[in-house]
Amino acid sequence: MEFIQRNIGWFGRATGVLSPAQATDFRPLLEQLAAGEFEEAEARAMALAGRPRRVWDRRPEPVWLARAFALTAAVLHGRREHVLPELDSLAAELQHTSGGARTILLVVRVNRAVVLLGEEQYAKAESEAADILREVTRLAHLTQVADIELSALACLAEALCGQGRFEEAESVARGNLSRATGNRAASLRCLVVGSLNGQGRYEEALAESGLPTPPASRAGSGQSALAIAAALHGLGHNDEAVMTVRQALRECERFLHPTHPRMREARELLARITAGDPPSEAPDEGTGSP
């Protein structure tokens, strides 16, 4: 979703979804999303979706986009308990559309994959990500979809980790890291680290985590620290691992919704470390959620 946050004016013009005036109305919403003001962004998006329809905005596309952004804000924040049915409903409305609305559908489906990952439905998330990538291939000649493709690839890598297919996950994440920027690069780096943790290559995981990487957005809070803590635990450095996983928890508690899946992952890892358990072979350790 980063590419729309950076380029809402371009997105509206290129897809025909928004008029210049509508793009202006949407810009504060995108600024709130970029700043991590998720609750405020969700409320603004819902207000845009429900505003009275004027002659120049009777088309459904602006409403679809506003609803998509409201759901994006909820997913990024981690308030996901009732989001999946809403994502399914909006995807169904968009399923037989064409043009710019297909790009909105891809945004909705990426969010759906993220929610499935948080619910540990890894096979379904893999299938969703693969379908998105096929659709991206069909749309690539019509509009810019590179960032949506990277989001889908990150979902695919995490879904593979969740199924214990760590070498495949490493290949996907590492193979696309060089063309990623911003929070997407931070997420892919964490996925490389997590896939190395899953293979028991903890020294390599720590080295990978120390490579120059753009800082994560608020949606990525705790993700890097969680992956590093898993590597430290794997090497038996449990005091450092406890400090690091507690750092991850503090970041999550500060910036994310209490029901965000990363909070659960951090608490489970902390419990394993403090109980003196060996490194878990559970496939999600140290990967985090988007």
> What is the torsional sign of CA 79, 80, 86, 91?
positive
Q: What pLDDT is stored for residue 56 in this prediction?
A: 53
| Mean local confidence (pLDDT), 212-232 | 95
Least confident segment among 11-15, 143-147, 194-198: 11-15
pLDDT, one tens digit per residue, over 11-27 is: 544 456 788 888 888 88
| Mean local confidence (pLDDT), 50-74 | 84
Q: What pLDDT is stored for residue 13 in this prediction?
A: 44
Least Cα distance to 187 among 196, 200, 176, 198 occurs for 176
Instruction: Give the DSSP per-residue string, 152-205.
Output: HHHHHHHHHHHTT-HHHHHHHHHHHHTT--HHHHHHHHHHHHHHHHHTT-HHHH
| pLDDT higher than 50, residue 220 | yes
Q: Write the CB contacts of 255 (distance below 8 Å, at least 6 apart in sequence).
A: 36, 218, 221
Mean per-residue pLDDT over the chain, rounded: 88
Least Cα distance to 117 among 89, 67, 80 occurs for 80
What percentage of the chain reaches a pLDDT higher than 70?
88
145 pLDDT band, cuts 50/70/90, is confident
| pLDDT higher than 50, residue 7 | no
| Mean local confidence (pLDDT), 131-142 | 83
Cβ(230)–Cβ(196) below 8 Å:
no
pLDDT, one tens digit per residue, over 98-119 is: 877 888 999 999 999 999 999 9
**Helix/strand/coil (H, E, C) string of 103-121?**
HHHHHHHHHHHHHHHHCCC
1 pLDDT band, cuts 50/70/90, is very low
What percentage of the chain reaches a pLDDT higher than 90?
68
